[in-house]
Amino acid sequence: MNSIQEIQDAQYQSMIKEHTQSIRDYIIEVTDKAQQEGKPVAELIDEGILSGILGGVIGGTAGKSVMSGVCKALGIDERSTLGQLLTSRTVLTAVGAYLGYKW
């Protein structure tokens, strides 16, 4: 069980680094483009992409505790297959990114 958790934690850390780099690259790109066009940065930011990235990060960090509470409320054992799926950081990051991008 520890090896699965360690793998998931390593994958999660990798995703956080990737998302952080994506945010940084996106902000730099938009800032450069705004300076070239003489427009405010706020006019060029695609909020869907930015909120998708942030949703993924938040889903991966806070989602586990929220879904643990949902599992307890529904009577689902967190150690079961369904419980592990619902509290998986990988799944929660993907759901957070999707919801952040769509809203």
Domain boundaries, the chain: 13-32+46-102
DSSP assignment of the chain = -HHHHHHHHHHHHHHHHHHHHHHHHHHHHHHHHHHHHT--HHHH--HHHHHHHHHHHHHHHHHHHHHHHHHHHHT--TTSHHHHHHT-HHHHHHHHHHHHHH-
pTM above 0.85, yes or no: no
Mean predicted confidence (pLDDT) in 63-82:
85
Mean predicted confidence (pLDDT) in 4-27:
74
